[in-house]
A and B are shown apart, each in its own frame.
Chain A
């Protein structure tokens, strides 16, 4: 592909003073430690979270090794439970949520035509809190890691049954990463509300920015609940309170309500920005505008609102009255509608397009294909009598991985392949990218499709071994082999990134013919992003700019026909 030629020089910005009293910046690693630039912080987020992703992935592979055959003897129950807990906690709190904050950090200011986030120093604080949260948690490996699952149900997580410090390390992790997310969310809200380029009304805001805005509001609403819950757990464990202890008049179900009031919105916190990413990527590569922009933005808001009303569907088997169960079944059903609307809109965007299958687009189209399976199993689980049979089995494990891996992680990989050229100035290898995609796609389905069947055959989740009588040995072996294929697929992308960051082809400003403003600036973007932010006249400002450049060039008979000329 011809390198896009649209540079700042050609747009002829008005001269203006951008920086007063420039201070000399520290160099090398000190610069990374002290930076308040949203792009560098974004890169720090992405680097740190991908390291945690690899660690969490290795924990998953160790669990799959243990379960490859019945009566596995690789680990005792204690170690296996620690792996379960570390894997879940790492993936949720140290990978998916913060990696989305990383993409948001890097991209939101660029997409809305701003020079940085509203509060750059708070932004740096967000990242460092996250990193310290992760370190505090992983240090527990050296004494005694927590073993009560990432949901940390009481009384199992109480001092009587988990007397070592692992649970306390987990509590600190929740506080630190929670604070990090909360500060980050406030920063996003302030930035998106106040710093959009001239002309970017709510109806012209990129859908990824919409998703990050709603992600932020959800974090602000949901996080206090889990912060309160873990504080109560901490005082239960060490200061003699009995919030969750039935022997002192407390109630273990209170923990579940507080946890899931946060925990279910957390699912949408993890998946909505991924939806936002592919809502940017699909129209770019289908060469068509997004179908039903307003419906997609509105469905994001609707999912977030309804997502706050469904938490007890995680508790269908608890002693709870039928009226309550029925309410939570119906509220969970209603979420299927806006989610379905999104999927229909993406397919309608593809319909009659001219689809260019770059790796980013392959990951982006895999998302709806896989998420549909997670959505359908979700409806089955929402029917509470059916849930009585399926809950806490491998069916749920399969369901949540189709949502969080098939949904979020495939979206995150799409975002990585889509935005890597912008961040590094270099293209990722398409050959390695496609190899990685197919390996991951095959490995993922092998790992998790059969887990539905294992669950339906009666295999509970979080067990460190199973007997042959259960007739799930075949499913588990396939799943284990699949998980290693999936791991190889992820590894190929890691190699791709490491190789391309040094020797990939130069990307130019706008390698994909993007629609949004981040493609207006150079790759990687200059420190101040925009000397002059362009005025936004539609939901696809870059299309307008390309058209304008075309028009300016044509009468002059100039040779420059920069980006609109296609591939």
Chain B
């Protein structure tokens, strides 16, 4: 009898400890249960907030359900000589109640989602300290959705290939880069994303959600970085043996520095092209190629 009571007490203590741990989890392990994605760009921050709101509602539901379940399991264990339990077969008001209750919570989640959707989906205008572009250079003819109230944004073409990302910048003369995308801060960057072989998925966690790069389709997303720095990510759709190695980094720099990089990169590419054609001409002259 005593042993039984001790065991029950120990069990209750265990359950209490477990519940306490769960209750403390959000504060102590905040890092572990929320995405490490906010802070880079507004869309990522909004997704973060939306996740957290849902999570807090979910934690309440979780505690109620698990609490009732564990309570029932502990409290209503069979005891020797215990009475035959009442043979209850249902309770219509109660059942209707929890059905409607569950539905109402989902209505709330729907409303919250649509409140945040605009901020996540629609690219805003670039900030005043963003890239001051002469529109001729940066407007893209086939840009899908110009940002609200302003046409000042930088539109990049992102192309996924096994196992590297290629970025094409607008403007005259070719300007492109692989792996590292250099962007100006405080400037809205819109991305047109596609793939040239298999499906890849563009993802920089701090700069917003994923956008699948599907051959034959163009997907869109955007970001706007305020803090200069490196933002890392990697391909999120299985694309072959090197999937894990298909990484990407966005380097955000102040607009002046971006201009400098842009000029240097354009010149480098032009120089490389010139060198290539000279080489070809020389080898033709030597009769090495037709």
Contacts and interface: CB of A to CB of B under 8 A. Distances in A.
B197 A161 contact: yes
Given A291-B90, A385-B120, A390-B35, A373 B241 contact: no
Given A293-B90, A368-B69, A456-B32, A380 B215 contact: no
A252 B214 contact: yes
A469 B216 contact: no
Contacts of B205: 389, 458
Contacts of B245: 77
B9 interface: no
Interface residues of B, number: 88
Contacts of A347: 65, 68-69, 72
B50 interface: yes
A457 B102 CA distance: 30
Contacts of B121: 322, 385
Contact of B76 (A352, A385, A386, A466): A352
A336 B210 contact: no
A344 B97 CA distance: 11
Interface in A433-468: 450, 452-453, 456-458, 460-466
A463 B82 contact: no
A343 B215 contact: no
A149 B238 contact: yes
A465 B245 CA distance: 8
B62 interface: yes
B277 interface: no
Given A291-B90, A319-B217, A330-B110, A77 B242 contact: yes
A96 B271 CA distance: 60
A36 B218 CA distance: 54
A372 interface: yes
B49 to A, nearest CB: 10
Interface string A372-397: 11001001100111111111110000
Contacts of A461: 238
Contacts of B48: 389
Q: Which residue among A317, A322, A379, A384 has the maximum number of chain B CB atoms within 10 Å of its CB?
A: A317
B244 A77 contact: yes
Contact of B199 (A252, A289, A295): A252
Interface in B32-79: 32-37, 44, 46-48, 50-51, 54-55, 58, 61-62, 65-66, 68-70, 72-73, 76-79
A458 B36 contact: yes
Contacts of A350: 69, 72-73, 76
Nearest to A79: B241
Contacts of A84: 238
B109 A383 contact: yes
Interface in A371-426: 372-373, 376, 379-380, 383-393
Contact of B243 (A251, A389, A456, A462): A462
A153 interface: yes
Contacts of A466: 244
Classify the interface of chain A: helix, strand, loop or mixed: helix
B149 interface: no
Given A81-B241, A379-B58, A389-B44, A351 B72 contact: yes
Interface in A279-293: 286-293
A460 B203 contact: yes
A164 interface: no
B58 A376 contact: yes
Contacts of A156: 198-199, 238-240
A251 B58 contact: no
B201 interface: yes
B191 interface: no
B212 to A, nearest CB: 5
A352 B77 CA distance: 9
Q: Which residue among A384, A392, A450 has the maximum number of chain B CB atoms within 10 Å of its CB?
A: A392
A333 B73 contact: no
Contacts of B210: 317, 388-389, 391-392
Contacts of A372: 62, 65-66
A161 B198 contact: yes
B50 A383 contact: yes
A284 to B, nearest CB: 12
A201 to B, nearest CB: 16
B243 A317 contact: no
B95 interface: yes
Q: Which residue among A355, A368, A389, A463 has the maximum number of chain B CB atoms within 10 Å of its CB?
A: A389
Contacts of A334: 106
Interface residues of A, number: 88
Given A81-B241, A252-B214, A352-B76, A341 B51 contact: no
Given A149-B238, A385-B47, A355 B76 contact: yes
A388 B98 contact: no
A141 to B, nearest CB: 17
Contacts of B220: 319
Contacts of B203: 392, 460
A322 B221 CA distance: 13
A288 B87 contact: yes
A251 B243 CA distance: 22
A287 B84 CA distance: 8
B76 A341 contact: no
A278 to B, nearest CB: 13
Interface stretch (B125-133, B167-175, B227-235): B227-235
Interface string B222-257: 000000000011111111111111000000000000
Given A333-B106, A333-B109, A376 B61 contact: yes
B272 interface: no
A357 B78 CA distance: 8
A318 B76 contact: no
A315 to B, nearest CB: 8
Contacts of A318: 212, 214, 217, 219
Nearest to A251: B216
A33 interface: no
B89 interface: yes
A81 B240 CA distance: 8
A365 B73 contact: yes
Nearest to A458: B205
Interface string B82-95: 11111111110011
A288 B199 contact: no
B151 interface: no
B76 A389 contact: no
A460 B234 contact: yes
B90 A385 contact: no
28 contacts: A155-B215, A156-B238, A252-B216, A253-B217, A289-B87, A291-B90, A317-B209, A318-B212, A318-B219, A319-B211, A319-B218, A333-B110, A341-B98, A344-B95, A350-B76, A354-B83, A368-B65, A376-B58, A379-B58, A380-B54, A380-B58, A385-B46, A385-B47, A388-B120, A389-B35, A389-B205, A456-B34, A463-B234
Nearest first, the 7 A-B pairs at minimum CB distance are A388-B209, A246-B216, A77-B241, A463-B244, A453-B32, A350-B72, A319-B219
Interface of B: 29, 31-37, 44, 46-48, 50-51, 54-55, 58, 61-62, 65-66, 68-70, 72-73, 76-79, 82-91, 94-95, 98-99, 102-103, 106, 109-110, 113-114, 116-117, 120-121, 162, 197-199, 201, 203, 205, 208-212, 214-220, 232-245
Given A383-B109, A389-B51, 16 more contacts: A149-B238, A160-B197, A161-B162, A252-B199, A288-B86, A290-B89, A329-B110, A341-B99, A348-B88, A353-B76, A354-B82, A355-B72, A452-B32, A456-B32, A458-B36, A460-B236
